[in-house]
Amino acid sequence: MFNKLIAASLPYMPKKLVWMFSKRYIAGETIDDAVRESKKLNDQGIKVTVDLLGEFITNLDEATENKESYLKIIETFETNKIDGNFSVKPTFFGLLIDEEACYQNIRTIVAKAAEYNNFIRVDMEDSPCVDQEIKIFRRLKAEFPKNVGLVVQAYLKRTYSDLQNMMDLQNGSSNLNYRLCKGIYVESPEVAYKKYEEINDNYVKDLDFIFQNKVYPGIATHDKPLVESAYKLIEKYNVPKDQYEFQMLYGVTPDLRKSIVDKGHTMRVYVPFGKDWFGYSTRRLKENPKMASLIIKALFKRG
């Protein structure tokens, strides 16, 4: 009840107050903020993936603006020699308005990244978007085999089958590249595992399949038991350190992050920024009210 109350009231709170909740997890509003925080992470031996905040636009003019913003972000990050790549949400480019327009917008962004031999990660969103997003990924992968990857979500019951069904895209010169995360959207029990143990078990099952098939994973988790399970799988399959990476969100579990880096594993931090930080923060709490108590704790203790 407490969590739901906080989540429901947050959109009506002063933005300055909400920023107190959000600032540890968002790099800032501008490209300069994102570059500054990314450089700090690079200086610690940590790679980044950058995300301009915003989702679920209402018209294609917004999609075009977002595309142009990403082209500028890529140019800026390359000019500043940031060790990082870029994450895009298809709904930010018109997926729910015009799938073909969305594809063309993201294709332009991937083509720009490919000019620098860089990489675009297509984020996965809630379950109604999954089929469309896999379709877009397939089209991009065919044209830009080394410059595009996908997110898969362990809590979706379909994910293991999706991994199997996309193996036709794997080849020796251009391995598949997935970010494996638990998943954050509120889904029905028909399509998603709901219990902590079930989600973790399926995360490990998915990761085992990924390693067995020599797919490159971004092991995206802040859950220490899953990190330990990943270590065991890496040892079991004798996976070279350049064939996987760990990934975490900006500002979350810095102590665990440091321990992974100290062991010599590649780490990449997801760096969100943008003027839509308020909408991002309030949407995330609406989607997952359980986060409210964690955020309250985070105001008093980092990690």
Question: Could you tell me the residue range of the domain that residue 292 belongs to?
Answer: 1-26+277-303
Out of 14-18, 110-114, 185-189, the most confident range is 110-114
Candidates 51, 107, 123, 268; catalytic one: 123
pTM: 0.90
**290 residue type, one letter:** K
Same domain for 287 and 209, yes or no, is no
- Predicted confidence at residue 287, as pLDDT, reads 55
Tell me the CATH number at 268. Answer: 3.20.20.220
User: Does the pLDDT of residue 299 top 60, yes or no?
Assistant: no
Same domain, 37 and 99: yes
Q: Catalytic one among 107, 121, 162, 179?
A: 179
Residue 214 sits in the same domain as residue 128: yes
Tokens standing for residue 69: 């913003």
Do 257 and 111 share a structural domain?
yes
- Asked if 295 and 204 sit in the same domain, the reply is no
Report the C-alpha gap between 182 and 49 in whole angstroms. 18
In this model, does residue 284 exceed pLDDT 90?
no
Same domain, 8 and 105: no
Contact 281, 21 (CB under 8 A): yes
Is 123 a residue of the active site?
yes
Tens of pLDDT, residue by residue over 186-237, are 899 999 999 999 999 999 999 999 999 999 999 999 999 999 999 999 999 9
Query: Does 21 lie in the same domain as 130?
Result: no
- Rounded average pLDDT over 264-287: 81
303: pLDDT strictly greater than 50? no
105 and 153 belong to one structural domain: yes
**75 shares a domain with 2:** no
- Nearest to residue 227, comparing CAs of 189, 191, 180? 180
pLDDT at 13 > cutoff 70: no
> What pLDDT shows up at residue 272?
94
**Identity of residue 275:** K
CA contacts within 13 A on the Cβ side of 230: 25
**Domain check: are 188 and 204 in the same one?**
yes
Specify whether 179 is catalytic. Answer: yes
Q: Do 182 and 40 share a domain, yes or no?
A: yes
Report whether pLDDT(5) > 70. Answer: no
The predicted model gives 75-96 an average pLDDT of 97
Residues 139 and 258 reside in one and the same domain? yes
What are the strands, taking DSSP E only, across 10-131?
47-52, 84-88, 120-122
pLDDT in tens, 166-180: 999 998 667 899 999
Tally of domains in the chain? 2
